[in-house]
Amino acid sequence: MPALFDKLIKRWLWLLVVIGVWQLYSAQMPLVPSPGTTLQTGADLATSGELATSAIDSLVRVMESMAIVCAIALPLGFLIGLSERANRYMNKLISLLRPLPPVAWIPLIVMVWGIQNKTSLFLICVGAFFPVLINTIDGVRGVQRIYVSAAVVLGAKQSQVIKDVILPAALPPILTGVRVGIGIAWMLVVIAELVAVKSGLGYMILNGQLDMRLDVIIVGIVVIGFIGLAIDRLYQMFSRRVCVTLRQVERA
Amino acid sequence: MLPQAGADAGSKTPTGPQTKLSIEDIVVEFATEKQRVRVLDGFELTVGEGEFVSILGPSGCGKSTLLKVVAGLMEQNQGRIRIEGQIIKGYDSRVGMIFQEYALFPWLTLRENVEFGLRVKGLPRKERAERSQRFIELVRLQGFENHYPQQLSGGMKQRAALARALVMDPEILLMDEPLAALDAQTRITLQDEILAIAQKTRKTILYVTHSVDESVFLSDRVVVSTARPGRVKEIIEIDLPKPRDRTNSEFLLYEARTLKSVREEVIKMGEGR
Ligand SMILES: Nc1ncnc2c1ncn2[C@@H]1O[C@H](COP(=O)(O)OP(=O)(O)O)[C@@H](O)[C@H]1O
Ligand SMILES: [Mg+2]
């Protein structure tokens, strides 16, 4: 028991320190809410349903964007990865667009589409698109030729080689690309909600700023952080479920 | 019989009763940015039905390239491959192949690997299971059906690859240095097994190796290839009953003769650089 207690202390000591400093600091600054007040605000936001509504708005945006991204980037990545000609056509365009920071699109897209959901989805999509596309291309390209050869001498036709060899062999890097894409999407959804649409967790903390409610902002930031972490964990569980190779790497 | 092209040394009539595989005047060139490299330069060989023929030659002389051409994985610039007199192009279900790197699919279990060819052929599940089980037992891997390749030792992986090829019932089996990555002990065990399986299944086997001992131990004939560009330099018929005794004086003489022939080419390869 003392050993367990010891371990808990060591693990969470930093949190105690943060809360302690925060408490002292808030006592001197009228604008800064105390940890207790913030916790109360968090509970209020949770019970009123505002937190859940905002979180769901943000999550839905990320899911919609990732669905769009995957629907375009995965087939396109396969095409470019498999076909030298498609690669030649697309290469220049990709290398031109890729280094562009997604937020650089904001003025343009807000001007064209105004403040609406479509605008935020576009922003998230352009950010998440390239890691998914590039990892798919590299994954498909990186499939060892020997696997293709082995399948061909076992009688596999071209479509079977793509479905039964290239897809499973390229799956780990593709899953990684989608993981990076989701991470970026979660960051961009908050940015998009600060500037391009009027709902979600980003909009909630923006309102906190306008109302000078630091407690709301802090609750928002913490929730955004935890949801981001939870999404990543869940996604990794999903990856291990769909990809034998990932499970194997861990076991080895 | 087909007319023999050129005056290639050693292009002899096969010892088997019937010609199964004819490799005729195969030329392969690779075009790199700077130059064209000729890798095979008129390779000629016939292999009889049920015969075990090894190809021995310095590394880089085009042995793997030749097998890829026969397997239809690569196109030759010139020449023909025939099975029983009929010209083949691309993949042919009568040909199976084993690779040095095993090339088992890491995302499939041993059983799924063995069933791969049956599955792409569209065989029903039950028949696949029966056939794969038979060949898993032939290579003595029963009990490991649900293991993934990473969980198998090198020797087990190559036996699995052998089962995966044999389950398709090819008439001709191409083996590209199948034992090169294994330790000496496992290699000897597997040589015995390959020999036993070859005799049991009566496959026509074209076997690439860089081990003189292995080629003399396994083959009816050993084909020594020249340094790049590869051509048949000499064919040595190993006229000893199988399984062979490595300590037998005749065996040792065959080994010495084969070694001498290969050494000359290895030295040439070194000078060529
Ligand atoms: N795809 C390729 N492109 C260019 N050169 C190649 C290619 N494949 C093989 N080669 C060259 O052809 C030669 C023969 O290769 P290979 O058939 O693998 O030799 P071996 O199996 O006898 O060691 C080597 O010099 C190799 O570098
Ligand atoms: Mg080779």
pLDDT of residue A25: 93
User: Is B30 near chain A, with CB under 8 Å?
Assistant: no
Instruction: Say which ligand is closest to the CA of B226.
Output: 1
ipTM: 0.90
For chain B, the straight-line distance linking the first and the last C-alpha, in angstroms and rounded, comes to 39
Structure tokens at A146: 């020997």
**Which residues lie across from B43 on neighbouring strands?**
B26
Q: Which residue of B has its CA nearest to A166?
A: B105
Give the global pTM: 0.88
pLDDT of residue A248: 75
Contact flag B73-A252 (C-beta cutoff 8 Å): no
Distance B39 CA to ligand 1 centre (A): 7
| pLDDT tops 80 at residue B2 | no
| pLDDT tops 90 at residue A6 | no
* Whether the Cβ atoms of residue B58 and residue B227 lie closer than 8 Å to each other: yes
pLDDT of residue B12: 47
Structure tokens at B164: 């995966």
pLDDT of residue A124: 96
According to DSSP, residue B60 is labeled: T
Q: State the SS3 of B250-263.
A: HHHHHHHHHHHHHH
pLDDT of residue B3: 43
B105 Cβ inside 6 Å of ligand 1:
no
* Whether the Cβ atoms of residue B45 and residue B11 lie closer than 8 Å to each other: yes
Structure tokens at B75: 């196109």
B62 Cβ inside 6 Å of ligand 1:
yes
Instruction: Say which ligand is closest to the CA of B55.
Output: 1
Q: Which residue of B has its CA nearest to A163?
A: B120
Place of tokens 């019937």: B18
**Alpha-carbon distance B268 to B272, whole Å?**
6
In this predicted structure, which of A5-14, A156-165, B138-147, B203-212 has the lowest mean pLDDT? A5-14
So where are chain A's domains? 48-251
**A145-153 and B63-71 helices, crossing angle to 10°:** 40
Q: What is the mean pLDDT of residues B175-201?
A: 95
| pLDDT tops 60 at residue A211 | yes
Contact flag B68-A154 (C-beta cutoff 8 Å): no
- What are the angstrom distances between the C-alpha of B22 and each of A84, B44, B62, B92? 35, 8, 17, 14
Interval B194-213: pLDDT, tens: 999 999 999 999 999 999 99
| CATH class, range A48-251 | mainly alpha
Interval A97-115: pLDDT, tens: 989 999 999 999 999 999 9
Contact flag A171-B96 (C-beta cutoff 8 Å): no
